[in-house]
Every structure is written in structure tokens, then in C-alpha cells.
Amino acid sequence: MKDTHLDVGILSDIGLQPAKEKNEDYFGRYDGEYGTLFIVCDGMGGPSGGEIASRIAVEAVQSYIGKYHIPTEENMIIAQAIEYAQQKLMEVVNENPDFVGMGSTIVLLMLRENQFWYAHLGNSRLYLVRDEAITRLTRDHTEAQFLADTGVITQEEVREHPQRGKLSKALGHNIGEPEISGPHMLYQDDVFLLCSDGLTDHLADEELLNHLTESPQVAAHNLVDVARQRGGTDDISIQIIKILHGATMKDFEDETFEVSNRPAQDYKKYILPVLMVALLVYLAVMIPKTCKKIRGPKEVTGSEVVVQDKETQEAEKKVEEPAPPAVSANLENELKNKLAVKEAMSKYQDFLDGLRAKNPHLPSKVMFYNDAAQGRSVIFTSQTIYLAYNDLANVQKINAEQLEYLITVAAAMAGSKSFKNPDNLGAIYASSPAALDATSLEAAQKLWSSVNPGGEYDFKRIGNSLNKHTQKAGAALIVKKAASQ
């Protein structure tokens, strides 16, 4: 097998924002036993958060693949590496609430010998140029693309849709299952383009093809220049890889595009044995049937019919119900944890749906942050609360009534005029948090009563119980410890 040699062009530009100081994109090329790995990440979450998120994502994925790569298990390792990057991001968020909401897209390409694999989350893209045609290998994880996939809008309308930049999947708070594909055949003269949306917001796929006929580094500079000329204000990151020497299409003209990691098999040597086995099976089945027809039907008693039916049912049951495969303890625990979170989210969603139905002015989401070091659980009114439900209900053992009270207070705070901007969290622990103020409690009681008619007594009782352990600090409710009813 021929070695694969590459010509690589790499460029990243901050765009046309004069006040912008930091590039929130991050990328890298890495070589190891796994082959050659290219990664592009586009961070989000503000000047500091975006820059940190993209760097963490790239370094975490590269580190995991480099340490745990297993030949023939590339898809699994890539999936685990992306999950590892998600964990590293969440560790930083949990340690510093200023980074709440930060995240990153990711697109990666791995090359080894005459094969390649790729994966992505978000709207950073991977293209392949082959035989003078360009193919977009990734599909954007955006709200606009989802509308196109479901037939609400056309693919042509996606480019100008107001939701084209709103991500439906990404590393961080919008995490979803990454799309992973491979192995695929790699051929000489293939050209790959990895890029952030700072490029594709301003150039159509067909325009990219015209530039990718140049040498990779020249093409990278030209593409950045065009994006800037068209008013590109976002970060623009590009990696272009051309396969200089490797397998050619003629080497594999009798094979399909998809390949496996196993060596090719010579199936011709199996044809004669298979035909012999098939003939023997045919004879074994047909000879008894022919003899039975010659002898005529055998008379059977009712008891014999019952026995035969039972035997037939047992045989069918054995065929239809194979023994279940063994499941490891770790997998069992992982599934239980996922189901617990899903169940918690479902229970919380039922309550929240009722709350919103009668109070449409409330914010659509809230976010949970667990300060384990201080023994505190914090609810911000800005992101999502299903983890808060899981932690408070299942870990701290706060009962359902008490938890509804907490969420109601958070909702009342978010709807009150005195509530601070949730995007400006700042140092919420800078000063000692104050006890829940009368305005928030009164607003929460009204919300409680609107959703739970006749529940005013319960609200007061639970409120008195929890008020000792719940304090207000800026845009957050801080639950110091589990409260007893």
C-alpha cells in the first residue's frame, strides 16, 4: 500500500470587527499512531468563553484520541473523544459561573493510509473535492437546517433564514450526538476543506470549488480575502488538505467507495463448499418429504397432536428468543443515569408546562449550577433546569412540593422588575447573599396559586421550611443544603 503524503494550507483571521481582540476559533493538526488528525472549532460564549471553549475542545479531542486510539475502532474512539471534550468544558463551567453558556462547534478529519474518517457538531463544515466536483460531507446542526430537513423551508432559503446561525447541536449546553462517518476510501488528488462558518456565510459551495483548484495555502489566503471583502465580521478559520501521493481510483476500480478495516477476503474459495452444503441440506429436507408422500399420511391421535404442537412451539420459542447478551456493570449504570436524568427532565417539564400556560410572560428556560465545593446548588434564570431537578430531587432529596416552590421563586424573580440581567452574572458570591425578599416571595406566591388553586397554605408551609436554606444573590437562588419539610 502506498504512503499518503499531504500538502496542507492553514489560515485563521479575526474578521472585520475593529473592536474585537481575540479569535474565538481554534484549530490544530496532529500526527500519531492513529494517522493525521485535523480539527477546527468555533467557540461561543463571549470574548473569553468562546476562546477558552474552542481551545479546550481541540486539545481534549486530540489528547483522548492520541491516548486511547484502537485500530479498527475509530468511530467509537472519536465519539468518546468528543464526549470527553464535553466533560472538560462542563468542568470549567462548573468551576466558574461566568462561563455559563460557553460552547463550541467541532469538525474533525482523520486520515490513515488510504482511509479517512470525519465527525462534526454544529455548523463548522467539511468539504471534499474529487474528480473536479465538490461535496459537502457535513450537514449543519442549525435551526434553519432543521426546518429545511422537515420541509418547512427549502434548502435555498436556509442561506438567508434568520435562524441560520442558531445551533441545534454543539459542545456545551446544546450537546447532541455527533455525526461520525467512516472509514471511507482516500484517493490521490483528493482535497479536503475544514472551515468555520465565518467562511461559508459569505461563499457558496460552488464558489469554494473555484478556489480549491489552487495550492492549499494560496487557496486559504484567497478564501479569507473574499470573505473579508464581502463584509465578514466573524472569525474565519480554514484548513485545506490535498492528498499528493496515495491510492488512485484505478487501484480500487473494482471496489466500492466504502471500505472496512479488515483485509480483503478471497470469496471465490468459499463458493464450492457453500454449494455442497446447500445441496446436502436440500437433499436432507426433500428426501423425507418424498418418502412421506409415497407412504401416505400417518394417522395420529389427539394426544400425539398435542405433543407435536408443544414441541413445535418450544422449537419456535427457542429460535425467536435468543439468550440476551451479557451487559457490563458500567453500561448498566450509565443507562440508569441517563434514564434518571431523562425522567427528571420529564417530571420537571410537566410542571413547567403548566406554569407557562398560565404565565406566558415568564422566561422559557432556567439553568442549574452545582457548587459542590461549597455544598450549594444555584439556579440561574437563563438556561435549563432539568439538571437542577435531578440534583435537588434525587441527590439532595428535596421533595416535589419543595422543589416546585424553588422553581416558582426563581420564575417570580425572573419576572419581577427588580430582577437583574441574567447575562451579567458577575461575582454573585462577592457579598453575603440576602434572604429572599418580600417582593419575590409575594410574586412567587401568586404564581404558585395560579398553578395550584387553593394551594396557598402549602406554599406558606413549604416557604417557611425552605426560606432558612434559600438565599437570593443577584440573578441566582442559592440552596445551601437539603431542607426538611
Return the percentage of the chain with pLDDT > 90, whole number.
Answer: 34
pTM over 0.85? The answer is: no
Grid cell locating 9: 494550507
Segment of 324-333, 345-354, 426-435, 463-472 carrying the highest mean pLDDT: 463-472
Q: Does 115 score more than 50 pLDDT? A: yes
Q: Does 183 score more than 70 pLDDT? A: yes
What does the alpha-carbon distance between residue 385 and residue 344 come to, in Å, rounded to a whole number?
Answer: 10
Q: What was the pLDDT predicted at 462?
A: 74
Q: Which CATH class is domain 5-252?
A: alpha beta
Q: What was the pLDDT predicted at 238?
A: 97
Query: Which segment of 199-213, 311-325, 456-470 scores lowest on mean pLDDT?
Result: 311-325
Return the percentage of the chain with pLDDT > 70, whole number.
Answer: 63
pLDDT tens string 220-264: 999 999 999 999 889 999 999 999 987 776 665 554 444 333 333
Q: What was the pLDDT predicted at 158?
A: 86
Grid cell locating 2: 502506498
Q: Does 44 score more than 80 pLDDT? A: yes
Residue written as grid cell 499512531: 33
* Mean pLDDT of the 395-409 span: 71
Query: Which segment of 143-152, 190-199, 235-244, 445-454 scores lowest on mean pLDDT?
Result: 445-454
Residues 6+ apart with CB under 8 A from 187: 114, 130, 243, 246, 247, 248, 249, 252
What does the alpha-carbon distance between residue 261 and residue 373 come to, in Å, rounded to a whole number?
Answer: 46
Q: What was the pLDDT predicted at 450?
A: 76
Amino acid at 154: T
* Mean pLDDT of the 336-349 span: 57
Query: 361 vs 131, which has greater pLDDT?
Result: 131
pLDDT tens string 76-106: 999 999 999 999 999 988 888 788 888 999 9
Give the residue among 197, 210, 203 at the shortest CA–CA distance from 227. Answer: 203
Q: Is the peptide bond before 183 cis (omega within 30 degrees of 0)?
A: yes
Query: 185 vs 159, which has greater pLDDT?
Result: 185
Q: Residue ranges per domain, the chain? A: 5-252, 340-479
Query: 238 vs 442, which has greater pLDDT?
Result: 238
Per-residue buried b or exposed e for 107-122, using 16+ beta carbons within 10 Å of the residue's own CB:
bbbbbbebbbbbbbbb
Q: Does 170 score more than 80 pLDDT? A: yes
